[in-house]
Amino acid sequence: MNITMIGTGYVGLVSGACFSEMGSRVTCVDVDEKKIGNLEKGILPIYEPGLEAMVVQNYGEGLLRFSTSLANAMEQSRIYFIAVGTPPGEDGSADLSYVLGVAAEIGKNLEDYAVIVNKSTVPVGTADKVRAAIQKELDLRGVDVEFDVVSNPEFLKEGAAISDFMKPDRIIVGADTDRARKVMTRLYAPFSRNRDKIIFMSVRDAEMTKYAANSMLATKISFMNEVASICERLGVDVENVRKGIGSDSRIGYSFIYPGCGYGGSCFPKDVKALIRTSKENGFDPRLLSAVETRNQLQKQRLFQKIVDRFGNDLSGRLFAVWGLAFKPGTDDMREAPSVVLINDLVKAGATVRAYDPVAMNEARHEFPRQWFDDKRIVLAEQPYDALDNAHALVLVTEWKTFRQPDFNGMKERMAKWVIFDGRNQYDPEEVRESGFDYFGIGR
């Protein structure tokens, strides 16, 4: 099948590459000429394990193409995926300007029946706005062309997106006509050969499913972080509690790991957007509001523990930070706990020396350039280089390379033997027996 993928960000590029991997001919469209030029050279704008090789191979085989012209791309296909950004506004609402802008351009160039697929995460009712934007342009042109608008939300975990797309748990499709359902069934047939993974529903149901799914997962994380705070006050090890409740099949172990808060491009944005949508429709979402509040407080926990240990004035203190990305397997620092922590440390007078396996370039864009020029933030070339003369190590992201550190070797390089474990990766007894002061989350 021939597909046009509009947007070459995380969702668009992963989706386009995976469709091409299964034999479809995909044209990825973006208005950023530099990005398109780089993609044609095999230079990707994001880090995702396995993605670069897939893009390069399918581009070389002619199955994956890149273009800055939506009109030209539309001539080659009748399936148009909208996969552009929906950044949060100041009030938490999703900004639909890019989505509706693409819809208008589709309307200006639509000649034959097509299925327009919303892949971007959008509030309930967005498909109606997309349909209206397309129809408006058709009316201005004085043409009558049939089309369907479908909701097909993505459920990709950063760091495992290729596997999630190629071997999905489910494929949610919101479609209101049999014609659109037949097109989507054919499109996703290669991804559901061993069983039918497509779940059809109305468009609005599909839009809500995406928000509900991410909000549920965020709720589990915030719940466990709240339990961790209670455990600290009761002298209870939250890790034992986690194992105890996770063994219950009704609860499970997924997303109940206490830590320093969730981040990324999905959970924070989607929870805020659903809160906003609820309030706009006369409902006060108290649980979701509590989830968001708990997460904001949780991102401050590591700094609070550092202040409790070293005092409010951190002038002259050097802190090593391991992990900058919001989670392992990605270079994404959007809403990352590390950003909150490092901002607080520097503003309190401290110096930060940080290391992350893949997010170093992102970090250079995340903090004021002056902080790098003044050496308030230094990016270390290796994880142990960050430890030299440090007054404490702060683990923020649980990359595998940090899981079995050489505590004796660390002591030789650090000025003070203190570890703040923001992801409960280390055994407190082992760390303390090695001579370190240990501070975890809920333990």
The residues assigned a catalytic role are 266
Helix boundaries (H) for 330-420: 337-347, 360-366, 369-373, 407-413
Q: C-alpha 400: how far from its chain's center?
A: 19
Contact 119, 81 (CB under 8 A): yes
Residues present in the chain in total? 443
Cα separation, 353 vs 194, whole angstroms: 49
Between the two ends of the chain, the Cα-to-Cα distance in Å is 54
| Lookup: tokens for 10 | 């995380």
User: In the structure, how many helices (H) and strands (E) does the chain have?
Assistant: 18, 14
Q: C-alpha 32: how far from its chain's center?
A: 21
Amino acid identity of residue 226, one-letter, is E
Nearest to residue 19, comparing CAs of 139, 119, 166, 210?
Answer: 166
Tell me the pairing of strands 318-322 and 351-355: parallel
Burial of 56 (0-12, 13-18, 19+ CB in 10 A): middle
Exposure string over 75-86, b if 16+ CB within 10 A, otherwise e = eebbbbbbbbbb
Burial of 300 (0-12, 13-18, 19+ CB in 10 A): middle
